[in-house]
Amino acid sequence: MLSQIKWAELFPNKSSIVIFAAYVGFFTNQGILVRWTQSADNSYPYNTVTAVLLTDFIKLIITSALFCRDHPVKALLTEVIRNSRVCSLYLIPAFLYSLYNNIAFLSLSAFDPTTYYLLLQLRVALTGVVYQVIFKKRLSGTQWMSLLLLTVGCMIKEMDFSNLSNLFGGLEGKKWSFLLLLFQMSCSCLAGVYNEYLLKKESPSANIFIQNVFMYLNSIVCNMVMVMLHEPLSQTFSSESLSAVLVPSVIILMLNNAGGGITTSFFLRNLNSIMKTFTGAIELTCSAILCYILFGIPIYLNTVISIVTVSYATILYSSNPVSKEEDNVKEKYDVEMLHPLMDRESKVTVV
């Protein structure tokens, strides 16, 4: 089976391997770091809305700095104004990601990191459907089989082997938390596939850091609106809120989240949303091991079976992955990733 893995189709260039590894690293760390910042009762001793909003500012600052490393500061403002229509297209994924990031804190309060990541993989089936609709590309039988196996592997984690009459005993008493997680998954897959569409179809020649600036400007606006819906901004940025957030553990969490967000754009541009869902197999294994070491969360038999199942699903998908759309587009992406700061016309394509 391993000999049948199509490495060249999975990773079209060396940059994609680095991006894949970075993506897995950032998002494995995310669940661990969120757990680290929780109190003993799984609550948060800081304002999570403030943390999410500050994270978006960090992403915007980092992305703008990377663009300005090879371009004048004036060019950044010029591109944003000139391509306001492109910027407005990012409002949809920004809003969905904003919901996803804010709900993630609630989900991780209800589930341990390993369970959280396993349940989160239920989004893969929905991602497959959305991917087919948006990109008008039918998935093969093998690809759908791997997606279904991945879903089954996630469900196995919640089986109570000591009571087979209640296979989902792990979800008992968490009905609303599970429904909230389902909504979070929907936001994630819709935002991911639509973001990939914007990167590849609407403005494929745009400098990727400019596109990230568009995303984070919209994210900040969306998060500001969400904040004002339930508390005044003065409370969000009060000295008390800021002092609770600006501690080493939360700062590390925000920096890790910022790194993961920026890496996601490179992942979607050079790889695809379907492969993005399969990174969960690696995240799952790493999360289970790290949670056992750091927090003493036990690894039960169903966790082991689940890890084996999703790992097999990943290998099965790797033998027949979703390929790049067209060869000429692939070549353009390869050049972009080898020289990520290159802007062939020093302008964002107007759509």
Q: What is the pLDDT of residues 245-302, one digit of tens each?
A: 999 999 999 999 999 989 988 888 888 877 877 787 777 778 888 888 887 878 888 7
Burial of 25 (0-12, 13-18, 19+ CB in 10 A): middle
pTM of this structure: 0.72
Q: Which whole number is the average pLDDT over 7-29?
A: 84
pLDDT of residue 339: 39
At 298 the pLDDT is 82
**296-300-303 Cα angle (round to 5):** 105
Q: Is pLDDT above 60 for 334? A: no
In a domain, 66, yes or no: yes
CA 227 to centroid of chain Cα atoms: 22
Q: Can you give the pLDDT at residue 254?
A: 94
> Which residue type, as a one-letter code, is found at position 351?
V
Query: Per-residue pLDDT averaged across 185-191, rounded?
Result: 84
What would the mean pLDDT of 61-86 be, rounded to a whole number? 88
Position 229, amino acid: L
29 belongs to a structural domain: yes
Residue 91 within a domain: yes
Contact present, 67 and 209 (Cβ < 8 Å): yes
pLDDT, average across residues 82-110: 84
Lowest mean pLDDT among 19-23, 203-207, 249-253, 261-265: 203-207
> CA triplet 28, 31, 36: central angle to 5 degrees?
125
- What range defines the domain where residue 28 resides? 12-324
Given a cut of 80, is residue 175 above it in pLDDT? no
Number of structural domains found in the chain: 1
Is position 343 within any domain? no
**Which residue, 107, 120, 108, is CA-closest to 151?**
120
Residue 348 lies in a domain: no
Residue 178 tokens, joined: 């599970």
338/95 Cα distance (integer angstroms): 30
6: helix, coil or strand?
coil
Span 29-35, mean pLDDT? Answer: 85
With respect to residue 132, please indicate whether it lies within any of the assigned structural domains.
yes
Task: Assess whether pLDDT exceeds 80 at residue 196.
Answer: yes
Residue found under tokens 């490179």:
266
Residues 6+ apart with CB under 8 A from 270: 12, 13, 15, 16, 19, 333, 336, 337
3-state secondary structure of 137: coil
User: What whole-number distance in Å separates Cα of residue 104 and Cα of residue 257?
Assistant: 12
User: What pLDDT is stored for residue 332 in this prediction?
Assistant: 45
44 within 8 A of 105, measured Cβ to Cβ: yes
Question: Would you state the pLDDT for residue 264?
Answer: 87
Rounded to whole angstroms, the Cα distance separating 284 from 282 reads 5
Q: Is the pLDDT of residue 244 over 60?
A: yes
Alpha-carbon distance 300 to 197, whole Å? 39
Query: Is 338 contained in some domain?
Result: no
Residue 339 lies in a domain: no
Q: Can you give the pLDDT at residue 326?
A: 42
Which pLDDT score is estimated for 26?
A: 92
